[in-house]
Each structure stands twice: as structure tokens, then as C-alpha cells.
């Protein structure tokens, strides 16, 4: 699968991953697990880009287990970062539509997209090849939402 769309967003990713490693060192266990999951998912995109990994494998590897655990535990996802996404958090033009959103709403959309991709794959004999959905666009949207969440968490306090 071609991940050309990822070329423009891959540069600043290393800094975000380093930041998420540091941010993940907290006493709030669920927050640590969610940040770790976000970091791991961003790493999946990074490595898939470098190694031209198939979309089916990427989808299998993407995780939302700790988001689900957070929902079950009634976790306040705004603990990841209080406040709302401001224009200075947005480094990619396509994410301007999320200005005004909070961490909870963005995490919900990330979770929704991961679930949708996994379900589409299951409905099509465990593959996304030869389906009518634009999986590349869906993965792209997911990546840029996750990157925005990391940028938001990293942004000014």
C-alpha cells in the first residue's frame, strides 16, 4: 500500500514520539497506558511508511485497548490535556476542522476510526484489499488525528 500522504507528516514525528515517552511517565496508570498506546500507534505508521507495510498488517497492529479500558472506567480523557485545541496546536492544514475540540472528543474519533477499520477488515474475509472503502484515506485521517492529539498534549500548557 502506498503511504505517500505520510511523507509530509513523518518529519516531526520523532520529536513527538520522544515527547510521548517522557509524558508517559506519570502516576496515573490509565493515562500512561493511553499515551503509550498513542505512541505505539504512531510508531506503527512510521515503520509502515519506512518498510512499505501492507494495510492489513497495519490495521491488525493498531491498538485501542486502553481507550476501551478508559471508557469502561469512566476515565476523563481531558486529563490527557485539559482545554481545547487551538490554532497553534494545528500543524497540518487538514486538522483545522478540529479547532475547538477537546482531548475527549478527539480520542473518541480515534477510537471510532480504529474500530471501523478493524470491522471493515473482518467483514471482508480479513483483508482490506479489493474493498470499496478508501482505506488509504481512512488510515491517513486516523494518523493525522493521532498526530494532532500528540501535538495537542505536547502544546503549551
Query: Burial level of 27, CB count in 10 A (0-12/13-18/19+)?
Result: exposed
Report the distance separating Cα 153 and Cα 101, nearest Å. 13
Which residue ranges of the chain lie beneath pLDDT 70?
1-14, 16-19, 22-26, 157
88-119 pLDDT, tens digit each: 999 889 999 999 999 999 999 999 999 999 99
The alpha carbon of 123 is separated from its chain's Cα centroid by a whole number of angstroms, namely 23
pLDDT, position 66: 96
pLDDT, position 134: 93
Residues forming beta bridges with residue 87, ordered by sequence position: none
The alpha carbon of 86 is separated from its chain's Cα centroid by a whole number of angstroms, namely 18
Q: Total domain count for the chain? A: 1
pLDDT, position 9: 54
Residues 60-94: b if buried by 16+ CB within 10 A, e if exposed = eebebebbeebeeeebebeebbeeebeeebbeeee
Report the distance separating Cα 112 and Cα 95, nearest Å. 17
Provide CB contacts within 8 A for 32, sequence distance 6+: 24, 25, 26
- C-alpha cell read off for 34: 493511553
pLDDT, position 71: 96
Could you tell me the residue range of the domain that residue 38 belongs to?
Answer: 4-154
Rounded to two decimals, what is the model's pTM? 0.85
pLDDT, position 12: 65
pLDDT, position 58: 96
Amino acid at each position: 500500500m502506498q503511504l505517500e500522504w505520510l511523507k509530509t507528516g513523518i518529519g516531526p514525528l520523532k520529536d513527538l514520539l520522544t515527547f510521548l515517552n517522557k509524558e508517559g511517565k506519570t502516576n496515573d496508570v490509565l493515562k500512561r497506558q493511553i499515551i503509550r498506546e498513542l505512541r505505539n500507534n504512531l510508531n506503527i505508521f512510521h515503520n509502515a511508511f519506512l518498510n512499505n507495510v501492507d494495510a492489513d498488517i497495519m490495521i491488525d497492529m493498531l491498538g485501542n485497548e486502553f481507550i476501551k479500558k478508559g471508557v469502561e472506567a469512566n476515565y476523563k480523557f481531558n486529563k490527557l490535556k485539559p482545554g481545547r485545541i487551538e490554532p497553534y496546536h494545528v500543524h497540518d492544514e487538514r486538522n483545522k476542522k478540529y479547532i475547538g475540540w477537546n482531548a475527549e472528543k478527539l480520542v473518541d474519533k480515534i477510537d471510532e476510526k480504529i474500530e471501523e477499520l478493524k470491522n471493515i477488515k473482518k467483514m471482508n474475509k480479513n483483508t482490506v484489499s479489493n474493498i470499496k472503502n478508501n482505506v488509504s484515506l481512512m488510515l491517513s485521517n486516523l494518523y493525522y488525528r493521532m498526530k494532532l492529539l500528540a501535538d495537542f498534549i505536547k502544546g503549551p500548557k
